[in-house]
Amino acid sequence: MRRVLHNIPMKIIFLSVLALALFFSCNKKQENSELTIVKVDDSLLIKEKDITKLQYTDYILDERTENTIVTWVEYSQLQDAVNKVKKGDFSLFKNNDNEFQDLLKNLKQNIPLEVNTASILARITVIETKIYKLESLSKLSTTTKPELLEITKEFLVAFSNLNLQLNKKLEADNIIIEKPY
């Protein structure tokens, strides 16, 4: 009987030491993996300075165009999204997909009559394509920084081209051509 009692404390001590060793080794592995993840994410992070280095022509709306589309709420929301992307903020693609899809759908449906032309609708379609591509690449863990910068540039160029087309449409509408009698 004495022999059995003597072995029990040794077993308890052995199992306790083993459990502590496993506990500390697991914690050490978790700390190392967290540090590695932070380094990888930081190297792939796109910042505002990366986007300002992209070379493209950024057309803005002229005053007449701004006055014409002032009631086009979806365009303003799209412009806000573009401004966020220019600052390196891709959170709009990760937060609420339904809100984003509704914006794209309503962008075409609520277009003002003055600028509702085939060429402008085509530019909006290009923007939709680039937005969906940017959204999918920004969510993928395998996307490289150069790939994400390239599609970001394509998206910004598509939005700039929409602005150019809107300006051209209203400029053409304001040209008065006198016909000879």
* Residue-wise pLDDT tens digits, 95-144: 666 777 888 889 999 999 999 999 999 999 999 999 999 988 888 888 89
- Measured between alpha carbons, how far is 21 from 150 in angstroms, rounded to an integer? 48
Secondary-structure percent of the chain, ordered helix, strand, coil, rounded to 5: 75, 0, 25
Q: How many CA atoms lie within 13 A of 91 on its CB side?
A: 6
Average pLDDT over residues 150-154: 95
Q: What is the dihedral of CA 86, 90, 91, 93, to 10 degrees?
A: 120
Distance (Å, whole) CA 144 – CA 138: 9
Q: What is the pLDDT of residue 62?
A: 93
DSSP 178: P
Alpha-carbon span 113 to 110, nearest angstrom: 9
pTM across the whole model:
0.72
Q: How far apart are CA 32 and CA 85, in angstroms?
A: 32
Give the mean model confidence (pLDDT) for residues 157-178.
89
Q: Residues 162-171: what's their mean pLDDT?
A: 94
Angle between helices 145-173 and 73-86 (to 10 degrees): 140
**Quick one: DSSP state of residue 180?**
P
Query: Could you give the angle at the alpha carbon of 106 between the alpha carbons of 101 and 111, nearest 5°?
Result: 145
| pLDDT classification of 36: cutoffs 50, 70, 90 | very low
How high is the pLDDT of residue 40? 43
Question: What pLDDT, on the 0 to 100 scale, is given for residue 139?
Answer: 85
* pLDDT: which is higher, 156 or 33: 156
Instruction: Calculate the alpha carbon distances from 181 to 33, 176, 178 in Å.
Output: 82, 15, 9
Given a contact cutoff of 8 angstroms between Cβ atoms, the answer to whether 107 and 124 are in contact is yes
> Distance of alpha carbon 162 from its chain centroid, rounded?
19
